[in-house]
Structure 1
């Protein structure tokens, strides 16, 4: 008897595979620096909140994310700028939140413009939404080419994605660059400023995405609690946008998407922001140490504004990543292009520097 199965949508069947970061096998001593995770465990106050919340998981979470929304709105607001609750929307990580954005604005065949190489989920979520990916090459020094991205916009473009700092190269655009860019983008095109690593940025003329979201109604800011806040396992991403746009994104979001424990952990993390910022500062110090040492060794690594560094290793990528694994360092290779290595514990970073010196002689 012949067995047939329903036909999968062509857009889904042809999806590129999302390659997850390597995992440490049980019983193996290694440093996992493949997924840009915060190497430090949650703060004790956050763990206490999670533990207490775990006792209530027989109940559904608040579908409106009320306490989390109010806490985040208060956290983002300043005497000069109010970020109201109606401007926020959430998802299970920034990837899901981005998927909700595209579901809100992209129809079948509409174009989504983004840099490449950049976050590997971009072509996946674009295809799932029925859109067409328009990839714009980075500059030779691994930066976003905003001029080329403007030129790639057509009458079919509905969304433009700006990843800054860019994953996996770590480079970041400036505020003045993005301001000029936005003045050249049509008002009916959504511009997503993807700031998953914003807490790690330390540069002159740093992007003030919230100011641009105030000035341009078509700007959507995308952020996450996975990286700097160390809540990667609980999956919470969020959007800051014009109230009308945020309302549309919330309407397209999965009901009860952010679980009860995650909501409680976010509120507790915002209350502990000073302690978390101290950890971020420590990681930035380590990033500076690693990047400076790599340059002194002779590596042409771009200046990173994220919690990782990028090695443009080209055709040697998979060979060097395999070598790193034998030394207990699980890195993230992008075949034929380069290796992304998360800034981890000082011990992990020391192993990376030892490996980087060896790679130059192989």
Structure 2
């Protein structure tokens, strides 16, 4: 057979490849744990699973506008249902934003999308697939967004700025005052996306509240997901919240039926049971605090952890740390030679992780 003459877009060859967290390997004599994907180690609430079983009509398409879920979210968030657009996880909702507001102009020149780096590894892929150009602004000390540098990076080609808070994979949140100051510097025709995929885990009282800013600034879009705190990662249901001036375009760019009927039923039931969700989240937050305290007792610098994960700046030793953790039945997530992200998992998994760190002979650097 001759070689195919079909070739992908040139942009595809310039994109990084998304690397999902690896599953743990089997180690004789011990249970293995996956701490590499920021998943909730707890399954959905039993009532949620029961609700899904009562709605087996998956031979039918779901409501194309996810009206029942948007109505439930409207009550839960105290926002108009018209301001909510659902997507396949928060990443699916982000892709809709990128499709609506960035790409290439009529002359073929790419728009620019600004975000901090390192941040969520899907950002450069999604931006590139949209036809836009990534402008990555390095993190500042403490593994935090450098908002001053990000504001300075805005040009007349900038269409979107993404703020990830808490920042994945490093952990710190952005604070209200600094984000308001940032928004004052950004032109009103630039969309500012506040990605709050881990908002339920935040305990910092000064953390920015995306919904408050969306009410004040017409160019702000808030991203949320049911994947993390609610334990519905496999169902892929997320959403964005923005004012009607923006949602009118997002509905055009939205993928039809992105949120399945099962995902919508599970999400609605989870909202009804939110006090139980909070209890579960708080148990994970306590585990996060235990892990951070244990690492700092070793003298290891750990950036402020406000998600369901911790970041260790192991640099060149990142792969070695991950490989040795694997030998202890723990799958963690190295990012090249930059560092290692470790998700908060089951109590036993977290205890074993701390025990492993006590015996590891190298310490991470300060971020």
TM over 0.5: yes
Q: Which residue of 2 aligns with 1:103?
A: 99
Quick check: 1:256 aligned with 2:257? yes
Counterpart CA distance in 2 for 1:207 and 1:133 is: 24
Residue 364 (structure 2) pairs with residue 337 (structure 1): no
Equivalent in the alignment of 2:12: 12
In the aligned structure 2, how far is the partner of 1:255 from the partner of 1:194?
Answer: 22
1:332–1:340 CA contact under 8 A, matched in 2: yes
C-alpha displacement at 1:99, in angstroms? 0.6
RMSD across aligned positions (CA): 1.3
Q: Distance in 1 between matches of 2:338 and 2:27?
A: 31
Aligned match of 1:84 in 80, 90, 107? 80
In structure 2, runs of 5+ residues without a counterpart are: 105-109
Q: Which runs of 4+ in 1 moved over 3 A?
A: 24-29
Q: Deviations over 1:208-256 (max 9, x none)?
A: 2111101100000011100001000000111000112112112101111
Q: Report what 1:35 is aligned to.
A: 37
Q: 2: CA distance between counterparts of 1:322 and 1:348?
A: 16
The superposition leaves residues 92-134 of structure 1 with CA deviations (integer Å, 9 ceiling, x where unpaired) of 1111111100000013100000000000001000000000000
Native 8 Å contact 1:96 1:237 kept in 2: yes
* Secondary structure of 1:193's aligned partner: strand
Q: What is residue 130 of structure 2 aligned with on the other side?
A: 129
TM normalised by structure 1 equals 0.96
TM-score, normalised to structure 2's length?
0.95
Instruction: Work out whether residues 86 and 247 of structure 1, in 8 Å CA contact, stay in contact via their aligned partners in 2.
Output: no
Counterpart position of 2:149: 148
Tell me the number of residue pairs that the alignment of Structure 1 and Structure 2 aligns: 356
Residue in structure 1 matched with residue 107 of structure 2 by the alignment: none
Q: Counterpart of 1:360 in 2: which secondary structure?
A: coil
What residue in structure 1 maps to residue 272 of structure 2? 271
Equivalent residue, structure 2, for 1:80: none
Q: Distance in 2 between matches of 1:107 and 1:285?
A: 42
Counterpart CA distance in 2 for 1:27 and 1:360 is: 22
Q: CA deviation at 1:27?
A: 9.2
- Using the alignment, how far apart are the partners of 1:229 and 1:258 within structure 2? 15
Structure 2 contact 21–37 (Cα < 8 Å) conserved: yes
**Using the alignment, how far apart are the partners of 1:241 and 1:92 within structure 2?**
17
CA contact (8 A) 1:119 1:166 kept: yes
Given that residues 90 and 237 in structure 2 are in contact (C-alpha distance below 8 angstroms), is that contact kept between their aligned partners in structure 1? yes
The offset of 1:141, in angstroms, is 1.8
Say whether residues 1:46 and 2:48 are aligned partners. yes
Q: What are structure 1's unaligned runs of at least 5 residues?
A: 78-82
Corresponding position of 1:324: 325
